[in-house]
Chain A
Amino acid sequence: MSSERYSLFSLLRESLRGHAGWKPAWRKASPQAAYDIVIVGGGGHGLATAYYLARRYGIRRVAVLEKGWIGNGNIGRNTTIVRSNYLLPGNAPFYECSMKLWEGLEQDINYNAMVSQRGVLNLFHNDAQRNAYIRRGNAMRLHGIDAELLDASAVRAKLPFLNFDDARFPIQGGLLQRRGGTVRHDAVAWGYARAADQLGVDIIENCEVTGITIVNGRVTGVQTSRGPIAAGKVGLACAGNSSRVAAMAGLRLPIESHVLQAFVTEGLKPFIDCVTTFGAGHFYISQSDKGGLVFGGDIDGYNSYAQRGNMPVVEDVVEGGMALMPRIGRVRLLRQWGGIMDMSMDGSPIIDRTPVEQLYLNAGWCYGGFKATPASGLCFAHLLARDEPHEVATAYRLDRFGRGAVIDEKGMGAQPNLH
């Protein structure tokens, strides 16, 4: 008897028999000749797309093609934060849809991804920042998203160890989304993979897409390192590499690839209870369940596919950390890494058809990719299944740049490294 459903009972039963009954979380599928839908990219978004295609839209002849091992992109290299504290009407419903999916994810996919709604607190340090956060918090509330404004004393009560005494930019307060928090990132990939696999989706690792077959302006399949695969529809979900893959179909995208560094310290007994972002520097932090402080800052700022960054940003981020939390000076940085972001021209994603028929694009996630994973999967599945945008993703059109309907949360314009 094998253990296909995870539960305390199955865990106890297996521990009495040496765990001999656990089966692979997902099959090591080999490519078949043809699928209804081929998803390029076995990251969080691709796997979630496949899961929702099978679960919600009943499309199960689906393959997810991954050039390496699943989850090796940004789902495995982020700072695990989930939140839906967005300002603009194009974004807020989408990220709230994602948040709601996070809230029921583990029961839905039968996998504990440790969704921890410990709160996300954005600090502000001057009147203009406060007003911008009030505007944002009010927009959230009007969208039915939770948001609270904390004054300095409320922030101090919550995080008494922040620098309130000799701060260069004193903390005035913060915008708190209590439903925000963190999720164990790798588990999201594995959980979606396992759930999709159980519904019949083929997850094909070590299968690199080398070409997109287009006949008369219409996609008919892909060429891969493991042979050609025919497909009724092809969905690209390979953020970080979107431009490279889209180029196989002759497309240029409003995207640059940039490196974003992230950091983790040695494990510590818990003392940071919510995700906290510094408003006067590039620094955000949370503490993992294992105890490490997980933090990050700004992108390095130059086009890169190298998955590593440079020292000025390391210093900039940690300076922000010490300015905000002077008690962490004797804590040690354990590891830094870099992930490649699809930085879009307005800082917002794209989930849309492309000029090539039956070729669909899910790209441009900037920093927002991890928290968007469930909704991105759902909306991309919807688009692939129904050929029309999901109601919470109607703004994420490729033609918005031509129309001027950009979704620019930061107001930085067509300069990807400033978003």
Chain B
Amino acid sequence: MYNIMRDHAPLPVTGPTQPMRLIQGNGIDVGRTIRFTFDDKSYTAHPGDTLASALLANGVRLVGRSFKYHRPRGILSAGPEEPNALVELRTGAWREPNTRATVAELFDGLTASSQNRWPTLAFDAMGINGVLSPVFTAGFYYKTFMWPAAFWEKIYEPIIRRAAGLGRAAEEADPDFYEKSNGFCDVLIVGSGPAGLAAAMAAATSGARVILCEQDSLPGGRLRAENILIDHRPGWTWAEATVSRLRAMPNVRIMTRSCVFARYDGGTYGVFERVSDHLAVPQPDQPRQRLWRIVARQCVVATGAIERPIVFPNNDRPGIMLAGAVRMYVNRFGVAPGRQAIVYTNNDDGLRTAADLYAAGVRIMAIVDSRQSSTHAQAVAQRTGARLFPGARIADTSGYRGVTAALIRGGNGKDCRIACDLIAVSGGWNPDIALTTHHGRRPSYSDEIAAFIPTPDEEDLHVAGVAAGTMTTSGALTEGARAGHQAAACCGFGEASSPPLAAPIVDQDESYGIVPQWHAMDAESGRRAGRAFIDFQNDVTAKDTKLAAQEGFRSVEHLKRYTTLGMATDQGKTANVNGLAFLAEVNGQSIPQTGTTLTRPPTQPVTLGTLAGPHRGLHFKPHRLPPTHQWASEQGAVFTANGLWQRAHWYPRAGETTWQDTVNREVNTVRNAVGFCDVTTLGKIDIQGPDAATFLERVYVNAWQKLPVGRARYGLMLREDGFAFDDGTTARLGENNYVMTTTTANAGPVMQHLEFCHQCLWPDMDVQVISVTDEWAQIAVAGPRSRDVLRQIVDPQYDLSNEGFGYMAAANITVCGGQSARLFRLSFSGELAYELAVPAHYGDALARLLMRVGAPYGIAPYGTEALGVMRIEKGHPAGPELNGQTTAHDLGMGRMLSTKKDFIGRTMAARAALTGPARPTLVGLRPLVAGTTLAAGAHLLPKGSPATAAFDQGWISSSAWSPTIGSWIALGFLSNGPARHGEIIAVHNPLADTITEAEIVSPVFVDPEGKRLHA
């Protein structure tokens, strides 16, 4: 079935479809044919293909255009490192820009388009940039486009922006959905090549919980690409068998299509699973992709390596590919990427491409081996009938939309032009060490393999196989087993000292023998030589690198930022080390002296949809619903978000044409009859213990020791820096039992603050606090008839008269014949009012009951808007006044600050800048003409003064139309405000282009004597 070392090579199947397809590959199913389109042309392929392998099978070589010069580009690699073959996949709302054809799994009906070209891929007008390339050098834009200054936004930038960018984001909301999951294991193994599988087997056998993540759809890693025998059978069948054995173990989870993209702190790994990208549409209830947070005690990184190209003039033409990728296409996908191949290598591994291509029937035109003498190269050349050029390099190539020939410069200096349609290049392999550097650990340079290898990391990270610089399969198997064994031992499974499982047998060790040749440039190639690309996608050339160094950008980070080397979608996976080698040469330094750049997460691009998961749209944040929500919905309430809470904003009735009509009616109802409002969202904190009163003394500015049982008191809290934090009432329900209310917004922060005060500042105090916000449904019943209504509900033994239950009274009571409840005579509206709390699950029933028993008194529910209007009418500060920037003095509560005790914020509140009368202080404002709007956010300046900040004396914090007063009213902060009642001040609202006038008044607009409260 598989395609292994034929003595006699069959020719590629030629025909109208898939002309470059071989008989079989180990990862595809030729028994089935599927269809796809690329740039509106239809092609066939087989299950198991990637878009890249399918395009190659169909003889399509031109796939994309580069970023800057719009050079024709083909497929370079066979994996996630691909810089060139980027396409837009799917269409409409499903469009995925910048998709690497090399990792896009083919499905029947797939549509793909080339991107960043106009009008077509073959004829791209932006190719003109290539002609202008002598001007468009590294950093050219920093030197021009400066004159005239105004032209940047109007002319230059729009042109640059349109030319830049790659694919196009979809124009509609992403229609797919995404999930998040958590995983926990002892040992996380990254990669399912020989090292990863050996590690998984060793760790799993010891009993450790193992998760193995493979970013590819199939396990095996490079074993899919190579003709290597393990235990005397093809390596990829060994991999599949090993995976089957692992899958059968209950302590192992194998995750394919799952990329470990980041290593965070504390053994937390980000994993990106492509759940249904390989399907035309996800199955019902299946997410497109899934984000995993995997917590692992130990991790084995077995991520293999990424091959690097050699930098030579015109090294970017379609048909110039990485040698290892070519083997992947031949062996896994059964595709010959060309018919006449040149292999260009500086190591033995590249030679295997010649052998595999030959076995697949491809003619090997030449082997260009930059090493002077390699017996291995001679042997391969002899076997494949290839012409061998030892000590040679490729000095140029030709072929606009695909390579047609190479100019080979022999070791003897002679040039030779050889026709070809494929150049397989190997500049050596860079261990894929990205994950090992996420914690800032810099890798070290190995002269032996001419690449960076990971340095020993924290004790929870093991690196094995090629990723660690071990270049043989047998080495990878042994090292993987050892790493898996050690990782498990670190978690307490097995003995650290006992030998790991016997490694499988590999028939023959591969040789590597790299002699680095980073580039094929020579001094005499000079200015006329073609461009030699280091970073393909961003079109960073050898010359750019030299110019950057010439201009002083000699640090690797400067080089990267100045030339954009390594900043394309592939993050320089094939470019960075070559760029570094180039810089080292220019600087006259060694590579390790020159340095390296750390990689940042993610190791591969991750869709934003995955990172957001289900938290989008209405599910962005949870909804908190007060107990009366269902009932309020039935009433037709309009809701508003109040933090996470959804609260009834107002309750429209038939005939009301604007929300203002509704709110006016609700206010009038409360002022003249009775209304009720769900105030459950206010924070409720139970405080108990012998030191509860002392504790309250410390957290509030005012005195609490003498508050009798059965009474409530208003309290103001400061932060330790002396600014107001929160306010509310606290009631004493028993000798050592208080219940505190907080604002809705600060329910959480106050709770946290109280815990801090108790646990960290005064741990010796015998007091306990607990949030009971969600335990009680609390409803404010307000208005002159509120007592009459409550009388219908509260059990008859409780006296609700002024004498029996006066203003600020509080008690545990029963309602409805024995149901426990809490009653407080508190008023935010300024009317005779109560707050009645019942266990939360009775909240809905209470609302319905109030409607029924209140009907004779004209009861109506009111929403938060009416609540807000009435609190402004009464001058009560709320969120806009308690904004974290105001002091007790600013709020007109300076006199509440006790001088007889320590309390949070006392000392800092006394600082000079917080105490002067010039500070803006709470005032009321009324327009001179009742109907004139006073906008919250307007600023207060003396009448007639210029509209500049120098005259700014304050601002309006809250405003409303008061149906009670029959005018707009406002609260604001004004410098020296309390001394200025009666003054007329200018109200500036430059955003609305208005200046009006208002009278400074007391902030209490309604019932300043409080008669209604005490009624």
Contacts and interface: CB of A to CB of B under 8 A. Distances in A.
A and B in contact, CB less than 8 Å: yes
A408 B143 contact: no
A106 B149 contact: yes
B912 to A, nearest CB: 5
Nearest to B936: A131
B164 A267 contact: yes
Interface in B608-630: 608-609, 611-613, 615-621, 623
A291 B172 contact: no
A270 B611 CA distance: 22
Interface string A124-143: 01101011111111110111
Nearest to A28: B552
A126 B608 contact: no
Contact of A330 (B600, B609, B884): B609
Contacts of A198: none
Q: For the side of the interface on B, what is the size category?
A: 35 or more
Contacts of B251: none
Contacts of A337: 600
Contact of A329 (B143, B178, B600): B178
Nearest to A186: B561
Interface stretch (B384-392, B718-726, B826-834): B718-726
A322 interface: yes
Contacts of A187: 142
Contact of B988 (A125, A138, A143): A138
A266 interface: yes
A329 B721 contact: no
A134 B935 contact: yes
A52 B952 CA distance: 32
Given A135-B936, A311-B270, A414 B165 contact: no
A139 B949 contact: yes
A303 interface: no
Interface string B846-880: 00000000000000000000000000000000011
Contact of B268 (A93, A311, A403): A311
Interface string B114-157: 00100000000000000000110100111111110100110001
A93 B617 CA distance: 39
Interface stretch (B94-102, B208-216, B462-470): B94-102
Interface in A286-316: 287, 289-291, 306-308, 310-311, 314-315
Interface in A379-419: 400, 402-406, 408, 410-414
A330 B952 contact: no
Contacts of B95: 330
Contact of B165 (A8, A68, A110, A291): A291
Interface in A80-118: 89, 92-93, 103-104, 106-107, 110-118
Contacts of A280: 620-621
B248 to A, nearest CB: 32
A223 interface: no
B990 A322 contact: no
A154 interface: no
Interface in A140-189: 141-144, 147-149, 161, 163, 166-169, 181, 184, 186-187
B929 to A, nearest CB: 21
A69 B723 contact: no
Nearest to B93: A327
A311 B174 contact: no
Contact of B144 (A11, A138, A413): A11
Contacts of B439: 308
B937 interface: yes
Contacts of A322: 174, 608-609, 612, 615-616, 620
Given A311-B264, A332-B607, A169 B620 contact: yes
B535 to A, nearest CB: 13
A135 B137 contact: no
A289 B617 contact: no
Contacts of B170: 327, 329-330
B67 interface: yes
B169 A12 contact: no
Contact of A402 (B137, B268, B911, B941): B911
A148 B993 CA distance: 10
A247 interface: no
Given A267-B164, A334-B569, A281 B174 contact: no
A405 B919 CA distance: 11
Contacts of A210: none
Given A112-B143, A138-B989, A143-B949, A69 B558 contact: yes
Interface string B512-526: 000000000000000
A321 interface: yes
A131 B167 contact: no
Nearest to A168: B620
Given A6-B144, A137-B937, A331 B169 contact: yes
A319 B616 contact: yes
Contacts of B116: 269
A213 interface: no
B98 A266 contact: yes
A413 B145 contact: no
A256 to B, nearest CB: 15
A92 B949 contact: yes
Nearest to A329: B174
B930 interface: no
Contacts of A323: 612, 615-617, 620
Interface in A1-53: 6-8, 10-12, 15-16, 18-19, 22-28
Contact of A331 (B152, B607, B641, B722): B607
B538 to A, nearest CB: 9
B991 A310 contact: no
Contacts of B1015: none
Interface string B212-236: 0000000000000000000000000
B293 interface: yes
A92 to B, nearest CB: 7
B879 A128 contact: yes
Contacts of A327: 169-174
B502 interface: no
Given A266-B166, A327-B172, A332 B605 contact: yes
A265 B564 CA distance: 15
Contacts of B913: 400, 403-405
Interface in B519-555: 527, 547, 550-553, 555
Nearest to A307: B440
Q: Which interface residue of B167, B564, B912, B915 has the most chain A CB atoms within 10 A?
A: B167
Q: Which interface residue of A126, A143, A270 has the most chain B CB atoms within 10 A?
A: A270
Contacts of B992: 149
B78 interface: no
Contacts of B416: none
Contacts of A314: 270, 611
A251 interface: no
B142 A190 contact: yes
B608 A329 contact: yes
A392 to B, nearest CB: 12
Contacts of A227: none
B641 A126 contact: yes
A10 B937 contact: no
Contacts of A333: 602, 605-608, 611
25 contacts: A11-B143, A18-B527, A72-B557, A89-B949, A111-B146, A112-B152, A131-B936, A132-B883, A135-B938, A138-B939, A141-B990, A142-B941, A265-B608, A267-B167, A269-B166, A269-B169, A280-B620, A280-B621, A311-B268, A311-B293, A321-B612, A323-B615, A332-B606, A332-B607, A408-B723
Interface of B: 67, 94-98, 116, 134-135, 137, 140-147, 149, 152-153, 157, 160-162, 164-174, 176, 178, 180, 262, 264-265, 268, 270, 291, 293, 438-440, 527, 547, 550-553, 555, 557-558, 561-562, 564, 568-569, 571, 600-602, 605-609, 611-613, 615-621, 623, 640-641, 719-723, 725, 879-880, 883-885, 908, 911-915, 935-939, 941, 947-949, 952, 955-958, 988-992
The 4 A-B residue pairs whose C-beta atoms are closest, nearest first, are A411-B884, A134-B937, A329-B174, A404-B911
